[in-house]
Amino acid sequence: MEFTDAVVNQFIADFILPFARVSALIMSMIGFGARTIPVRIKLALCVVITVAIMPAIPPTRVDNLLSLSTALLIGEQTIIGVMLGFITVLVVDTFTLAGQIIAMQTGLGFASLVDPASGMNVPAVGQFFLILSTLLFWVMDGHLAYLQFVVASFDTIPIPSNGLDSTKFKEVVEWGSWMFATALSLSIAPLTAMLLINFSFGVMTRAAPQLNIFAIGFPVTMCAGLLIMWLTMGNFYTHFQAQWERAIAFSCYLIDCKAP
């Protein structure tokens, strides 16, 4: 076999363009995209996955590798991968947001930890919910499902193609409303219970003004918050499964494929 310029350019194109889509997914997906994972490990994983799926991908039709059109193609593949990975981030951030809401209303927001995924300080309850949702993501083979999505996307959105429909970018933003709706539905029971507790403290303060509501109410609120979280923890998996099914269905809609 002769390694002519056309053969070498075709091989590089068959590797670089799928690599852009796969690496964008890995770098933005929950778990793989965490800052605690070294960049070299991520890069090696992207290279291995790209080489493994290259035989199953149709050959790319690129006339000139070093051209503006090829650079735009690489940017297009990056956007497709980032959009798929962004859906997983929205799923996990749903429960981080729910944990932050509960922590702020129960007085547990004073304890904060550094989120390894984003590098920001979040309440300990939000960090706890983040760990639980991430573990459920791995248990439900979320990483395998999205690797199947990125492989299937090369058939439904080949290289080159017209890319994603412009309306889908808007729908990704609109789908983010499910994050706030699910977070509110998960935290509505603790919020209602804490409202009743605060209302009872208000009645008690009105009846006995000499009581120091801050000295009594703060520890009671914290203990009640922990108790309510323990009693309502069974709803966590139910909400996660519902949100996960929505994410799978929406990801299939984005790339026009069937659910794995």
- Write the pLDDT tens digit of every residue in 34-53: 777 888 888 888 888 888 88
Beta bridge partners, 114, equal: 121
Q: Which residue has the higher pLDDT, 135 or 9?
A: 135
The beta-strand segments (E) located in 12-120 are 112-114
Quote the mean pLDDT of the chain.
80
The runs of H, that is alpha helices, within 107-234 are 124-139, 142-156, 166-175, 177-207, 213-231
From residue 4, how far is each of 1, 10, 45, 59, 62 by CA, in Å? Answer: 9, 10, 29, 17, 15
- Please write the tens of the pLDDT for every residue from 163-211: 666 777 788 888 888 888 888 888 888 888 888 877 877 777 777 666 6
Q: Which residue has the higher pLDDT, 99 or 217?
A: 99
Report residue 21: phi and psi, to 5°.
-70, -45
